[in-house]
A and B are shown apart, each in its own frame.
Chain A
Amino acid sequence: MIWNVREDRLLVISDIHLGNLFFNTSGLLFRFLEYAARENYNLCINGDGLDIVQTSLIKMTKELSAAFDYLGRLVRGEARIYYVIGNHDIILEHFIEDFQHIHLAPFLNVTSGDKRIRVEHGHLYDPFFARHPDLYFAVTRLAGLALRIHPSLYHVHTFNRRVRATVNRAFRRGDGGGQNSSNEPRCFRQAARELSRRGFDAVVLGHTHLHGMEELEGGGTYYNTGSWFKQPHYVKIEQGDIELLPWKG
């Protein structure tokens, strides 16, 4: 398994959920892949690129075929493509490996310029997933069924999460300070801090679907690339310079 890599031009995206019924930004994604190929970037898909849990086979087949076509263009330009496994694609490793030019990894330790950057999906730090993986899987499937019945339930879910995170933040005491720009549960920030204590200048996670960045207490910066459901974001790494940017196509 290779996870220590040196890359001076790397784009990181996550949580695309190809095949998910509620993913409707495929056009934006394909234009992003075109951009990566045109500008000679290497690419890291940081987990949940595919969705096996809440999927439509017909939709996945169509989107995958197009996506692999665009990934092929990247490969022909000699770009390297890394795929970090997430929780929605954990059982698809063999399937992803079929596309021989993708380097599969559980996480990446990227050296770029003089910076060390950890790129990891982040589901291991989700307390619900870590404690009850089977239950998590079952609930995610059930949520998928509920969303088929009424898609607006997704907004109820995100609203609920936002309220809980805001309440948690209001009562947060002595857990590192700093501005949390995305209202996400603090366990992810704590995980990023734990990783940064191992000499990482930056930690890039996905999983939460909430894009944002913040400086960590004790040094290091935490980035989350959010998801491609609504407001696609990506991290651009160039010679150690790291930026979180929106993708508007």
Chain B
Amino acid sequence: MAQKTVELEMVAQDGETIVMEGDPGSDMFIIQDGEVTVSRVINGHEVVVATLGKGSFFGEMSLLESHPRIATVRAVGKTKLLVLKRGGLLLKIRRDPTFALEMLQNMSSRLRYISQQLSDLLASEEVSVEKLSSLVASAEIESLKETET
């Protein structure tokens, strides 16, 4: 079980699930130290789509839109996280305004990638549920890569 510390910091142990795909949730997480894997269920199989390290963030879509989690995130080794809630996000941006810019760039990158891939898919006229699922998953990988570089 995650150990909550002061100032909304949390430590997750190796293999611990931080968020689960499909679960409700409105927290966003920033990795202060350690690593996590991000996985999604595609065609009935759980597939690891990315590994995120120090400084990366995840969970922002659920925080912003109040939708269920779209991926499962698990700690790799002992991982220290900063947890942001709705009210906390505003305070964070007030104190650390460039964080908002980094979130925007991440989302812009995701949108650009998915638009391009969707255009290519529609042009090829071979649209299937499997291809669309894989497109959404790969868009997430791209945006996570942007966060990491």
Contacts and interface: CB of A to CB of B under 8 A. Distances in A.
B97 interface: yes
Nearest to B57: A198
A13 B101 CA distance: 24
Contacts of B85: none
Interface stretch (B28-36, B37-45, B124-132): B28-36
Contacts of A199: 30-33, 54-56
A195 interface: yes
Interface string B50-75: 00001110000000000000000000
Interface in A134-156: none
A71 to B, nearest CB: 26
Q: Which one of A4, A6, A195, A197 has the highest number of Cβ atoms from chain B below 10 Å of its Cβ?
A: A197
Contacts of A75: none
A120 interface: yes
Contacts of B30: 197-199
Nearest to A114: B54
Given A1-B105, A4-B149, A200 B95 contact: no
B55 A191 contact: no
Contacts of B9: 197
Given A197-B32, A198-B30, A116 B98 contact: no
Interface of A: 1, 3-4, 6, 106-107, 109, 116, 120, 124, 190-191, 194-195, 197-200
Given A4-B149, A198-B30, 18 more contacts: A4-B146, A109-B55, A116-B54, A116-B55, A120-B98, A124-B97, A124-B98, A190-B95, A191-B95, A191-B96, A195-B96, A197-B9, A197-B30, A198-B82, A199-B30, A199-B54, A199-B56, A200-B55
Interface of B: 7, 9, 30-33, 54-56, 82, 92, 95-99, 101-102, 105, 146, 149
